[in-house]
Structure 1
Amino acid sequence: MGTTSMARDLPGAKPANSGVSTERLARLDAAMQTEIDEHKKAGIIVLLARHGKVVHHKAYGMANIEAGKPMQKDSLVRLYSMTKPLTSVALLTLYEQGKFQLTDTLDKYIPEMKDLQVFNGENAYGVMTTEEPGRKPTIQDVFRHTAGFAYGNGTSPVDLLYQQNGIGYDTSSSLKEMVTERLPRMPLLYQPGKRWVYSVSHDVQAYLVEYFSGMPYAEYLQKTILDPLDMKDTYFGVPENIVDRYTANYGPGEKGELTQIENQNGNRPRGESGSYSRYTDIPFGGSGLSATAMDYAKFAQMLLNGGELNGVRILGSKTVELMTMNHLPANIGYLTGPSAGGGYGLGVSVLADQAVAGNLGSVGQFGWGGAASTKVIMDPKEDMVAIFLTQYMPSEFSIINKWQTLVYQSIVE
């Protein structure tokens, strides 16, 4: 990292001094408040930074309706899949140490994966059939979700096998056991390099962090990213002494009303053992962190700066450049659905075609979201970090798209 100093909170600035219109930000304010007033969301936090300075950081609504706790700017939220970019950065720090190459096959470091098979349908008797992979999955495949792994949350026969074997939503095994014992027994859902499939790949990344560093994944993350960036409000689980800052998680009730869903099993992705407010049994690479908006802004600004924040260097600028370019092969094309027009880098989505995306933004912007309707955007062209945090499941993309539009329309120079 080149230094043992710590990064500070991002400084503040007046919007007008950073090319952002105060009058246009009022539109963002009004839209977020409307979500609260119409009982569509319990609480929301937004943060907008331009040129390394925070020009807008505001909380709306309630962190916990039932307890009467207002949402605060420093409220803690579940990041879910916004954990993933941190895992990728952790693994890339080891790439910079020469521990591996992106083209290395997984079985070089996980020999249990040397005989992986690929799902090839079912025969007339409903029995799964498999075939040999056209090539072996690589570490690059694991970064970009093209290895062929599944996530265990779909309806395919492979996803059902994941569920039956406790892959993806079970925390009773160790990370090593899941990656080196359970996962190799599963067939790949697709041929490596042929499809982009959202998957347990970041959990494989977390295991590789342990393999190359000789340290537990959570410990390496703390030492290499969280402590140097002074991300003092980022946790796998939340300590008891600050649990009052923790937000409740909501979803639609039977009549569409906001209903707490913390204790519903179907809303506890992997990495959560019971309540998310307790330390998770096993920190996984794909989900499980909780954080504040400011803490995540430090991480995002570090990437936007090319790997450095306030004299603290986490990655080299060329590594960030490699991370944030589109790595999807031409045969796969762009992502679809909520990430339409996007490619995928080494752990982040990358906007490749703004017209296909159909929203305001910039080609080259990168980021990712989480299952509770959260999102981060890092835009090199506009020198901007934008963060949207709420706690609502399943993820609602309409409010995220509206937030993105209102953020970008506020930029005037």
Structure 2
Amino acid sequence: METLQTETPQRAGLDEAGLGRVTDFAARAISEERVAGAVIVLMRRGRIGMHAAFGDMSRSGDEPMRHDAIFRQYSMTKPVVSVGLLQLYEEGRFQLTDPLELHLPELAGLRVHAGYDESGAPKYDELQRSPTVLDAMRHTPGFVSGIGPTHVDALYRERGLTLAQSPSLSQAILTLGEMPLLYQPGERWVYGLGHDVQAHLIERLSGRPLDAYLTDRVFRPLGMIDTAYGVPDDQRSRVVDLHGAGAASGIPTYERFADRPFGTIGLWGTTIDFARFGEALRRGGELDGERVLARKTVELMCSNHLPPGIDRLPPGSPAPGAGYGLGVSVTVDPASESNLGSPGTFGWFGAATTRFLVDPREEFVAVFCAQQMPSDGRLLAEFQTVAYGALV
């Protein structure tokens, strides 16, 4: 593995005054106790212009934040899993238009929840079409998360189909096949368990466990040396404390993924590891001579795949106003997101206030990692604003 080159701000295409505003933003977030600490990486044209640690590893303030701190990445697991599945797509193992049941027979015979009759018994509609691999990759198959307010979410919880309860990925998919869909496939965008379906597709098509596959096919080639499902005992001192209103429930839930990998959440990793991941995608799937995806596959991944009738991600989603690709949000028009950016910028977020974004037009990669739960969406939007303000 080669180390990404660190340069002066000018040589990296960044403005010193703009980086000062990034520093002020981080210091202000810490002084206002929005986060205990954070690590920020800003890269341009393949050069690191900022890799800075701010604040502390915990609310106690006993240890300053480390540059190599390890964070619970939560939903930033999703785009990594999508890259793994797209590698198998490149090998001709499936087509995006394939019905899920073609590769996962557990998902045959799905129906759509249609409310309840006068006696309180559930009613169902037949499928207008089967959910496809594409639906699973863009959150349009009809699945939910199990933590939402709908009747179908409640059914998931009754059957233990939540990330805090499911004993394994394979059992989760088996149970998912017995659950009704919330809506007809392709009619809505709802954040659900589609990435767990992707993860099980990886296992079914490759014949390998998810964690082993991602280690060999993504993490090792890209030099993501600290990214994994779990943290070795001798590296636990590098783990940032999780804090905030959701911390108490988040810790036991997250620790369980070390020996039961899922596709929705579960990865731990450093800010620089995700900068490497983002930079590889910015370069069209290659970093330091190691290729994980073909250029055209990256282009497909980072195109807007929302179906007709769903113009943008809805209010309440992590990226309202954006389009959605294959595991990443995609900026169609910066004005629709009411923030700085470029058409074609892509990335995603994590539930403990982590985010990465990649702007191919500006040759720009930005990563922010903290451990405030639930995620501070406003803080991450502010990070985007100040990060873009540092571009020359």
Give the alignment's TM-score, normalised by structure 1: 0.92
State the Cα deviation string for residues 72-103 of structure 1 (Å, max 9, x = none).
11000000000001100000011111100001
Native 8 Å contact 1:116 1:184 kept in 2: yes
Question: 1:159 aligned to 146, 153, 156, which one?
Answer: 153
**How far apart are 1:192 and its partner, in Å?**
0.3
- 2-structure distance, mates of 1:407, 1:297: 14
Alignment of 1:153-302 (within 5 A): 153-179=147-173, 181-252=174-245, 262=247, 264-265=248-249, 267=250, 272-273=255-256, 280-302=258-280
Which residue number in structure 1 is paired with residue 58 of structure 2?
A: 64
Does residue 49 (structure 1) correspond to residue 43 (structure 2)? The answer is: yes
- Distance in 1 separating the partners of 2:319 and 2:30: 26
The answer (yes or no) to whether the contact 2:13–2:45 under 8 Å persists in 1 is no
Residue identity in the other structure for 1:198: Y
1:270 to partner: Cα distance: 5.8
Question: Tell me, what secondary structure is at the counterpart of 1:250?
Answer: coil
CA distance in 2, matches of 1:123, 1:354: 45
Instruction: Decide whether aligned partners of structure 1 residues 143 and 269 sit closer, same or farther in structure 2, where only a CA change above 3 A counts.
Output: farther
1:334 aligns to 2:327 (yes or no) = no
SS of the equivalent of 1:210 reads helix
Contact (CA 8 Å) 1:270, 1:284: kept in 2 or not?
A: no
Instruction: Give the whole-Å Cα distance in 2 for the aligned partners of 1:287 and 1:307.
Output: 22
- The CA deviation string for residues 242-264 of structure 1, in whole angstroms up to 9 with x for no partner, is 10010001104xxxxxxxx64x2
Amino acid at match of 2:232: P
Distance (whole Å) between structure 2 residues aligned to residue 118 and residue 38 of structure 1: 46
Question: For residues 30 and 271 of structure 1, what CA distance do their matches in structure 2 show?
Answer: 31
Does the CA contact (< 8 Å) of 2:242 and 2:251 recur in 1?
Answer: no
Question: Which residue in the other structure is 1:9 paired with?
Answer: 3
> Is the 2:81–2:263 Cα contact (8 Å) retained in structure 1?
yes
Q: Identity percentage over the alignment?
A: 44
Report if the CA contact (8 A) 2:227-2:268 is conserved: yes
Q: Deviations over 1:169-192 (max 9, x none)?
A: 23552211211x211110011100
The equivalent of 1:392 in structure 2 is 372
Deviations 1:138-194 (A, max 9, x none): 001111011110000101110011111111223552211211x21111001110010
Give the drift of 1:298: 0.9
Counterpart amino acid of residue 51 in structure 2? H
Within the alignment, does 1:21 sit opposite 2:15 as a pair?
A: yes
CA offsets per residue over residues 201-241 of structure 1, 9 Å max, x none?
A: 10110100000100001000001001111211112111110
Q: Which residue in the other structure is 2:89 paired with?
A: 95
Partner SS for 2:180? coil
Q: Are 2:299 and 1:321 aligned?
A: yes
For residues 405 and 117 of structure 1, what CA distance do their matches in structure 2 show? 43
Deviation at 1:37, TM superposition (A): 1.7
Q: Please provide the CA RMSD for this pair.
A: 1.4
CA distance in 2, matches of 1:340, 1:41: 23
Counterpart of 1:153 in 2: which secondary structure? coil
Contact 1:64 1:247 in 2 (8 A): yes
- The 3-state SS of whatever aligns with 1:28 is helix
Equivalent in the alignment of 1:306: 284
Classify the secondary structure of the residue corresponding to 1:211.
Answer: helix
Query: Does residue 113 in structure 1 map to residue 91 in structure 2?
Result: no
Q: Which moved more, 1:29-38 or 1:203-212?
A: 29-38
Aligned length: 390
Structure 1 residue 38: deviation in Å? 2.3
Q: Residue 176 of structure 1 aligns to a residue in which SS?
A: helix
Match in the other structure for 1:276: none
Distance in 2 between residues matched to 1:269 and 1:103, nearest whole Å: 37
C-alpha deviations, 1:386-407, integer Å up to 9, x for none? 0011100111111111111001
Give the Cα–Cα distance (whole angstroms) in 1 for the partners of residues 117 and 368 of structure 2: 46
Asked if residue 358 in structure 1 is aligned to residue 351 in structure 2, the reply is no
Match of 1:3?
none
Alpha-carbon distance in structure 2 between the residues aligned to 1:65 and 1:155: 32
User: Is residue 58–residue 73 contact of structure 1 (8 Å, CA) maintained in 2?
Assistant: yes
User: What does residue 343 of structure 1 align with?
Assistant: 323
Per the TM alignment, residue 272 of structure 1 is displaced from its structure 2 partner at its CA by 3.7
TM-score by length of 2: 0.96
Q: Which amino acid aligns with 2:277?
A: F
> How far apart are 1:112 and its partner, in Å?
2.3
Superposed displacement of residue 373, structure 1: 1.1
CA contact (8 A) 1:46 1:58 kept: yes
Residues in 1 aligned to 2:341 and 2:204: alpha-carbon distance in whole angstroms:
38
Post-superposition offset of 1:120? 1.0
**Distance (Å, rounded) in 2 between the aligned partners of 1:194 and 1:130:** 16
Given that 1:271 and 1:282 are in contact with CA atoms closer than 8 Å, whether structure 2 keeps it comes out as: no
Gaps in structure 1 of 5+ consecutive residues: 1-6, 253-260, 274-278
> One-letter code of the match for 2:177?
P
CA distance in 2, matches of 1:41, 1:148: 35
Taking the aligned partners of 1:105 and 1:172, their CA distance within structure 2 comes to: 24
